[in-house]
Structures are given as structure tokens and as C-alpha cells.
Structure 1
Amino acid sequence: MKKLNSMADLEGVRRLLKDQRLEAERQEKLRLEAERKQREEAQLFQRQVQDVTPLPNSNRKVHDPNKPPPIARQRELDDAHVLQESISDDMDVERFLETDDKLSYRRNGIGLEALKRLRSGKWVIQAQIDLHGYRTEEAREAVGEFLRTCVKHDVRCVRIIHGKGLGSVGKEPVLKDKVKRWLVQKDEVLAFCQAPPRDGGAGALLVILKAKH
């Protein structure tokens, strides 16, 4: 301990001890006040819930709320594409057809050899749609959806069975000419021709579709 040499030194020590005592008393008061507030808050909570009956433990598992179903973006895009298409039943399809007995069609840039191979059955039919029993509007939508699905799955050659009209009024094929009009307006279609007899003859068309990529 430091040696006290004068009354001034003694007085300084007294003041230091007094300050330490006062600080200790202040800290104790703060502690007691905090404990008092904590007790009062606990008592207030107990009074608020004293009439509440606790639920029995039923081992229930609380699940997260069901997430909203995902938005089918691609389907929305496909539907928008359908709305943007303008497929007319009245367009003059004859000017697009080859002047052969099969009334074939090929888009600009498609070689004649591809059409010859299609007529001769060299292309393998990978999918088909049968329009028997369809009304015009139903057939139009079905053909559009069929072609888009085929392109999406990289199907290159398909058959569209439109029928010969044997069951129609007047025995005239209702969909035969309409299907040709629809196909020449479809970006997916590169070429088509009447099917050979073994694949439906005058009641069907063979169609070449563009590649997926």
C-alpha cells in the first residue's frame, strides 16, 4: 500500500473510498429495480393467462402452408401462340400446291427430293392424328396442338387422317381441303402430300415437320 505522508493524502483516500461506496450502492439499486420490474411483468403475465386452459398435447405436427401451384409458363406461351395464329378456312390453297395428282406442297427452300421421298414412303411415320368425328373448330385446334407437340418432341414425319367423307352429308370430305389450308399456314410444316394407299390414300396426308432446333 502506498505510504500516506500528509493529511492531504489521507483526505484523498477517504474521498476515493466514499466514491466507490456510492457507486456500489448505485449498482445495487439498479439491480434491485431490474429484478422488481421482472417480477411485476411475470405477475402481470400470470394474471392475464390465469383463466386460460392449456391445450392437451396431441402430438400434432404443424405443416407448412401449401405452396401455390407452379405457373405453367410454357403452356401460357403455347396458348398465347395459338391466339396469335390466324388460320383461315378461306385462303386459296391451290396456288401453294404442286401441280401433281397428289396436290403436294413444299415450303420455299425445301427440295423436291424430300417430297419425292415422302410420296414414296421413304419417311418413317412417327405419329398420327385421326380427325374422324371432329367438328371443324375442334379439328383446327387439335391439329395445331398436335403439330406443336410433335415439333417439341422432334417428331419429323406425321400422318393426319382427315377422312374421305364417306360418312358426311353428300359424301363430301368436310375436313380434307380445310386441313390443307391450315397446314400451308403453319410454320411447323415443311411439306405434305396425299398418303399412299397403304397409309390411308385420299383420306390422309403425310406431313414433314421442321426440326426442333
Structure 2
Amino acid sequence: MPKKSPIPPEDSLLFRESIAGAQPLVQDKKWHHSTPVRPKTKVKALADQDERQLFYFSDQYEGFILQDGPQSYVAEGDDPLLSRALKRGQIQPQVTLDLHGLTQLQAKQELAALLSWCQQQQLHCACIVHGKGLGILARKVPNWLVQHPNVRAFHTAPKSWGRDGALLVLLALQSKSSHRSWDEA
């Protein structure tokens, strides 16, 4: 028994008349892919820059001993009152870096990137939140900071910026044209 078509014969005839002069398409068999651009030199340049920034930080260096109470450091030859100004909140941080949940390597990379970025943006004060937790980053961060040549001073942050879980860091700016001292902040 022949199968009955669900399309009425008049509609089928109308369709055949409308496509009477149509030609089948020819497949050109060309694949049009866009090849991904790989900026190898740019990636290598960024990796070299990261390595240069990490050059300052040694994990074996223990130049800053964690004490009970506030942590304070002033670079040799710098004004000893810088630490007091940071402690009192007279110098407000312009940027904050939160290291919560990062590994030591990630924290070191983020810290190096922050210090480099502060130089580029001409920012002289930063707040680094390392948290309390097990105290691993609380011990490492001050030791990394004392090794960096652009760190003038740091002190445990005031209560409003995180107290024992954070440090306020004062940076030396490299540019002579727009150098701001700590008392101009």
C-alpha cells in the first residue's frame, strides 16, 4: 500500500514550479579557518619582566624577625619618623593588595607586580593585607619587603586598614619630576 504524503498535491505542484530553474550548489571544499595569533615575543617579555621583579625576593633571607606586637621597618638612611607616620595613619594608602588564599609563590608574584605597578603609577603608599591565619605570609611578606630597594618603610596597619593582618608600605618613587615626600600625602 502506497504511503500517503502529508502535503497536498496542489502545494507540492506549486513548490516544484517555484524551484524550476534552480541549480544545485557546488561545494568548493575550502575550509576557512582563522589561525590563532601567538604573541610569543610579548609573552616572553612579560615572563622576563616577572623574573626581574622576583629577583629581589629570596625565600631563604630572614632579615626581618617577626616579633610580638607591631611590625615596623625603616630603610637604612631614611627618616626614622616614617614608621610613626604610618602607624598613626598620617599616610593613607592609595592601593590595597589582598593576599588571602594565595600560595607563597602567588603572593610573592602579586607583591612584585604591585611594587612595579606602584612605580609606574607614581603611588607612594600601599596596604598589603596578608591576614593572620597560620602566619606563613605574615612572616614572609616583611622579609620580602625589606629586600626590595624601593621600600622606604612599613608598619603594621592601623585598625581601620586591617591591624595585625596588614602592613602599610611606603615606597620611594623613581621619577624625579613628580617625587612626593611622605609629609605631602
- Determine if the TM-score, normalized by the shorter chain, exceeds 0.5: yes
**Match of 2:52, as an amino acid?**
H
**Other-structure match for 2:168:** 206
Segments of 5+ residues of structure 2 without an aligned counterpart are 1-37, 176-185
The equivalences for 1:91-170 within 5 A come to 91-94=61-64, 101-165=69-133
- Tell me how far apart the structure 1 counterparts of residues 49 and 169 of structure 2 sit (CA, whole Å): 21
**Match of 1:191, as an amino acid?**
A
Q: TM-score, normalised by structure 2?
A: 0.65
Which of 159, 165, 175 is 2:137 aligned to?
A: 175
Bigger RCO (CA 8 Å, 6+ sep) = 2
**Match of 2:158, as an amino acid?**
P
- Tell me how far apart the structure 2 counterparts of residues 138 and 210 of structure 1 sit (CA, whole Å): 24
Runs of 4+ in structure 1 deviating by more than 3 angstroms, as ranges, are 68-77
Over the matched positions of the two proteins, sequence identity in percent amounts to: 33
- Tell me how far apart the structure 2 counterparts of residues 157 and 208 of structure 1 sit (CA, whole Å): 5
Shift of 1:192: 0.3
Segments of 5+ residues of structure 1 without an aligned counterpart are 1-67, 166-171
Please identify which structure carries the higher helix content: 1
State the secondary structure of the residue aligned to 1:91: coil
Whose Rg is larger? 1
Give the number of aligned pairs.
138
Per-residue CA distance 1:113-149 (angstroms, 9 max, x = gap): 2221111101021001000110111111111111111
- Tell me how far apart the structure 1 counterparts of residues 159 and 136 of structure 2 sit (CA, whole Å): 20
